[in-house]
């Protein structure tokens, strides 16, 4: 008979502690009170370093003819990544079996595994900003507005495609949320509805995203069987997408 290994409540709490610590830090960083510290007049407003983008600020105008101020706020303290970094440090200091050597070994392994994803995210953010400031998002949104009432029905599909291509709901929203806003305004709909549809549809696309499937397959020892996983999950993804499309369209008609 297999030997059943028992663990105390304390051992279980320690094993799960990195998740508690991460949740606590991200929650604090998400609080409006914390974010307010970095706004104009806030106690930590000096920790925000605005960087005007050359060639854009004062050089181009929006649809109303007003000059565009393209500024990147370098905010190292209130960035979510800082919260995650602090959670890692605290977890390392409070977990008995982890020391600095293990931490840096895991960091190196993570960078080797995810460097392509990191480069992809950087390129997507650059593409999104180019599309926004060049008027590309506005132009595509105005064209899609010609679909009229069908826009809320199709908004989740755009999100679904975006996550399938990028592998990330965040990247999808960075790329297509401005497009969804312009499209909604073009038909007189609430932009929150189309952006929500973009997000919800993107989550259904996560099910069949090649990046997500590759990570999942590697985690459970099924590398090389990604196509089987895709075939088994695509109907679930399309089914959920259809429900979200109908629901989004229904909300548009009702409200």
Q: What phi, psi does 222 have (nearest 5°)?
A: -115, 25
For residue 109, the model assigns a pLDDT of: 85
Which pLDDT value is given to residue 60? 67
User: The pTM is what?
Assistant: 0.68
The pLDDT value given to residue 1: 59
d(CA 59, CA 127): 19
Question: CA 217 to CA 189: how far, in whole Å?
Answer: 41
Displacement of CA 189 from its chain's centroid (Å): 24
* Series of mean pLDDT values for 10-residue runs along the chain (255 residues): 77 86 93 89 88 74 67 85 92 84 86 77 78 74 85 93 83 86 90 94 90 76 82 94 95 89
| Predicted pLDDT at 199 | 94
The pLDDT of residue 239 is 96
Q: How far apart are CA 222 and CA 212, in angstroms?
A: 13
Name the packing angle between helices 226-254 and 151-166 (round to 10°).
150
Q: Are 120 and 211 in contact (CB under 8 A)?
A: no
Residue 195 has what pLDDT?
A: 94
Burial 114-126 (b: 16+ CB within 10 A, else e): eeeeeebbeebee
- Give the torsion through C-alpha atoms of 132, 135, 141, 146, to 10 deg: 180
Q: Which residue's structure tokens are 């075939």?
A: 231
């Amino acid at each position: 008979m297999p030997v059943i290994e028992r663990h105390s409540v304390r051992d279980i709490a320690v094993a799960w502690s990195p998740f508690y610590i991460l949740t606590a830090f991200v929650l604090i960083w998400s609080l409006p009170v914390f974010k307010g510290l970095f706004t104009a007049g806030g106690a930590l407003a000096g920790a925000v370093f605005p960087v005007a983008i050359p060639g854009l600020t004062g050089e181009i105008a929006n649809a109303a003819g007003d000059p565009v101020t393209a500024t990147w706020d370098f905010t190292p303290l209130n960035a979510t990544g800082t919260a995650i970094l602090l959670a890692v440090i605290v977890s390392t200091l409070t977990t008995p079996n982890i020391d600095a050597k293990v931490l840096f070994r895991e960091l190196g392994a993570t960078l080797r595994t995810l460097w392509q994803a990191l480069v992809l995210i950087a390129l997507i953010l650059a593409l999104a900003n180019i599309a926004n400031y060049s008027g590309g998002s506005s132009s595509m949104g105005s064209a899609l507005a010609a679909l009229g009432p069908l826009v809320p029905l199709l908004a989740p599909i755009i999100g679904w495609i975006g996550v399938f291509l990028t592998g990330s709901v965040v990247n999808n929203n960075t790329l297509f949320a401005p497009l969804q806003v312009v499209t909604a305004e073009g038909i007189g709909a609430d932009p929150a509805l189309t952006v929500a549809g973009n997000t919800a549809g993107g989550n259904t696309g996560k099910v069949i995203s090649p990046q997500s499937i590759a990570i999942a397959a590697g985690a459970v020892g099924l590398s090389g069987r990604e196509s089987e996983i895709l075939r088994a999950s695509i109907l679930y993804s399309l089914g959920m997408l259809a429900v979200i499309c109908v629901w989004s369209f229904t909300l548009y008609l009702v409200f």
